[in-house]
Amino acid sequence: MTQDLRLTVAAELDRARARTTLLTDAVDDSDLVRQHSPLMSPLVWDLAHVGNQEELWLVRDVGGREPVRRDIDELYDAFKHPRRNRPALPLLNPAEARAYVGQVRDKALDVLDRVRLTDRPLVADGFAFGMIVQHEQQHDETMLATHQLRAGAPVLEAPAPPAARVPVSGEVLIPGGPFTMGTDTEPWALDNERPAHRVDVPAFFIDAAPVTNAEYAAFIADGGYDEPRWWSERGWAHRREAGLTAPMHWKRDGDGWAYTRFGRTGRVVPDEPVVHVCFFEAEAYATWAGRRLPTEAEWEKAARHDPATGRSRRFPWGDDPPGPEHANLGQRHLAPAPAGAYPRGASPLGVHQLIGDVWEWTSSGFHGYPGFRVFPYAEYSQVFFGGDYRVLRGGSFGTDAAACRGTFRNWDHPIRRQIFSGFRCARDAGTDVG
């Protein structure tokens, strides 16, 4: 069993590094060191940062080895340097960064070969290694978002997502009652996903699929960005200050809309989930539609609750890991898939595409669950509790399966839309719509 776990960990580390290499080798050194948006780090910072985190946790802490580069720890501390300031730092150049992450990985794999994966909670079930896998995959998604903000010729390639296989529209009733939220059993779950706890959720309706481009375009056409009544006070102030008139990367194209995605411009696809909208835009659309955003607990109940057994699944389709038949994950495609593209990934009650495609805004702020305990460090979750954040769920086409499950929680400021964010709507059971 231990050897099987070592092989699994090694394969996941290798898979994450292959993706990092793809994203950083796709551009030349001048693009690696350039800041493509003040919202994002230079790609070369992300590259060395994932190596530095791997060194801190796997080489020094788990392995008890001597530091590889203690002198760069402060440069790659995300809390000490805002993204907009990172280009001015004396960062490792591309060749140095590549050499550094390679040296760290060799030492980390040596630690993996030698450490007992039962000695302490940090390494039990390979947790520390899984944490680093997830960290690198999360930065890979961040680097993918940087590629989306990059100007210039396309450098990334991927096949188009599958076409819709079944018609999906309307709402699904989620019966009221308790369900188990969070987890005590997922071995690589992060501290904010724990502990499992019972939550009583009243009956509600939730959209069977994320809101599509066509549906969102109807909101725009109806003057949605011009009517303060659809927006919260904060949302309307932000809409005016930021000059929002449509989702990020949308441009008028005759009587419709075009979208620039990873350097290629084409017409907006009507049945794809809308992406690159902030929380305030999602909230305004939901109000215009006579609905609201789901709470985080509602979203998780829709994604995990099995009404036939009363248990909470790992994923909407069951406990099996995500495959290409279930969800659009892992940069397999460079766009969300149309509504109805993954019928085998639907929940027992018929809610589709809860995993992958687009991160989904919820109405909930980010906080710890009852009984929350910091593990293994406060800076992963606890320091963000109670701030100006909204929780997003479900992952996107840029999220890897290693960093996505029914309990996984993401969070961001409500103004952010460079992330691969969309949403679906909900409403209380028994209320009328429109």
Q: What is the DSSP letter of 55?
A: I
Return the residue matching tokens 């805002």: 82
Q: How many CA atoms lie within 13 A of 294 on its CB side?
A: 35
- Stated as kind and residue range, the H or E segment containing 69 is none
Give the CA distances from residue 59 to residues 45, 66, 67, 316, 364, in Å, rounded to whole numbers and listed in that order.
20, 8, 8, 36, 37
Interior CA angle at 135 toward 196 and 74, to 5°? 120
In terms of Cβ atoms closer than 10 Å to its own Cβ (0-12, 13-18, 19+), residue 359 is buried
Q: Which residues are annotated as a binding site for Fe cation?
A: 49, 135, 139
Q: Which residues are annotated as a binding site for gamma-L-glutamyl-L-cysteine?
A: 83-86, 412, 416
Task: List the beta bridge partners of residue 426.
Answer: 206, 292
* Cα–Cα nearest to 360, from 299, 284, 402: 299
**Cα 304 off chain centre by:** 18
Measure the CA–CA gap between 85 and 22, rounded to whole angstroms: 25
Q: Which residues are annotated as a binding site?
A: 49, 83-86, 135, 139, 412, 416
